[in-house]
A = this chain, B = another copy of it.
Amino acid sequence: MIKIAILGYGIVGSGVAEIIDRNKGEISARAGMELFVKHILDIRSFPGDPHEAKVTADFENIVNDPEISIITETMGGINPAYDYTKRALLAGKSVCTSNKELVAVHAPELSRIAAENGCHYLFEGSVGGGIPIIRTLSRSLTAERIESITGIINGTTNYILTKMEDGRADFTTVLKEAQELGYAEKDPEADIQGFDACRKLAILSSLMTRRHVHYEKIHTEGITDITAEDFRYAKVLDMTIKLLAMCSYDSEARLHAIVAPFLISDEHPLFHVDSVNNAICVHGNMLGDSMYYGRGAGKLPTASAILADVIECIRHDGHANDCFWLAEEMAVAPIAERSSRFLVRITKEEKKIQLASQLFKGYETDPNLSFAPGECAFACGPLTEKEFETACAALPGGIIGRIRIA
């Protein structure tokens, strides 16, 4: 029997305990032994919970318990998760986590400490919930040169965008509804501003390049400016709008990375990924395109991913040979140099339309396309972000809005 401790008994942490109870047979068969939750760290108490008696507020009870060999960390945030994780690994206890903030910042150091202490630091639950993208990139597509990764990796924003499209409703209305249904948090900033997707993309792009991509270097835009009109334009173009996290090498092997809303066509493999689902497209130089789809968040899918890591720790006990990426920084090319196509909305004035035609390198769609009085829209590009900004600045009165086209 393997005794584990759970750090943080919130949504995902309680999911870990629940799956250990519900899938006892499957887990024992695959791990080769039974799993038992011995301690749960939380400052709250949980009267009536079947694991109520295991809850402790003191991490010392866990890190100093020689019976505990594996810890699941579902606290989130950098502190105190970073300290606890480090101390656990230094004590030779493996840590399995869904904490994307911590992984995005400290994975190289924590992986190194784990290897030095004969244990594991695993984080399948940190990106894509139940989609096993971390193991796919680090253990399966290993003979590939991964050239790009494009994903829908935030369930909350995908739910909101799907509802905006279905209901032709505006952002604020749908966000409120999502909060009432529990699909968005009370403080939704991390999701709707793209910060959550940015951390996850830092992890994916680090796995792709095998060097550390700092999340602060990733250009990140959220979905708060997307309007019902934007979806009307998308509709007539047989497109939809998705918050994409993308990283790719350009022809000079420079890394580009961006989190932003994009227009995607109905031919795009991510077009049909709706609601709280996530999907990640990976392009390898030998494999070509592949896609991984599933529940990107939520209690049980994420807890299931964490427990798959726990089972890995048990089966590979004493054989720590994980190397996700090196601590050395991977530079991200300046956003100004990234090329894209754009859908641009401007006020409908004959002279302005003519000037825009020159500035934005011509049109691809009817410049008379319009869903609001006095405005029109056109598609242009590819232009670098810098070229695009220059064109906007040169256009008297500027533009009403723009969305990139994937």
Contacts and interface: CB of A to CB of B under 8 A. Distances in A.
A78 interface: no
How many subunits of this chain does the assembly comprise? Answer: 2
B210 A144 contact: no
A132 B143 contact: no
A290 B277 CA distance: 9
Contacts of A131: 290
Contact of A287 (B26, B27, B295, B323): B295
Interface in A136-176: 136, 139-145
Given A124-B140, A135-B140, A304 B321 contact: no
A143 B311 contact: yes
Interface stretch (A189-197, A229-237, A312-320): A312-320
A290 B144 contact: no
A304 B29 contact: no
A23 interface: yes
A142 B311 contact: yes
A255 B162 CA distance: 36
Interface in A244-286: 269, 272, 284-286
A143 B26 contact: yes
B23 A144 contact: yes
Interface string A274-308: 00000000001111111111110000110111011
20 contacts: A23-B285, A23-B286, A25-B145, A27-B143, A30-B142, A124-B140, A131-B290, A132-B136, A135-B135, A135-B136, A139-B139, A143-B305, A144-B304, A286-B301, A290-B294, A291-B293, A292-B292, A292-B293, A315-B321, A316-B321
Given A132-B136, A316-B321, A286 B19 contact: yes
Contacts of A289: 294-295
Interface string A27-48: 1011110000000000000000
Contacts of A130: 284, 286-288, 290
Contacts of A303: 143, 286
A290 B124 CA distance: 15
A135 to B, nearest CB: 5
A315 to B, nearest CB: 5
Contacts of A135: 135-136, 139-140
A269 B269 CA distance: 11
Contact of A143 (B23, B144, B288, B290): B23
Contact of A141 (B288, B290, B308, B310): B308
Contacts of A305: 140, 143
Given A145-B23, A321-B315, A139 B287 contact: no
Given A29-B210, A292-B292, A315-B321, A304 B143 contact: yes
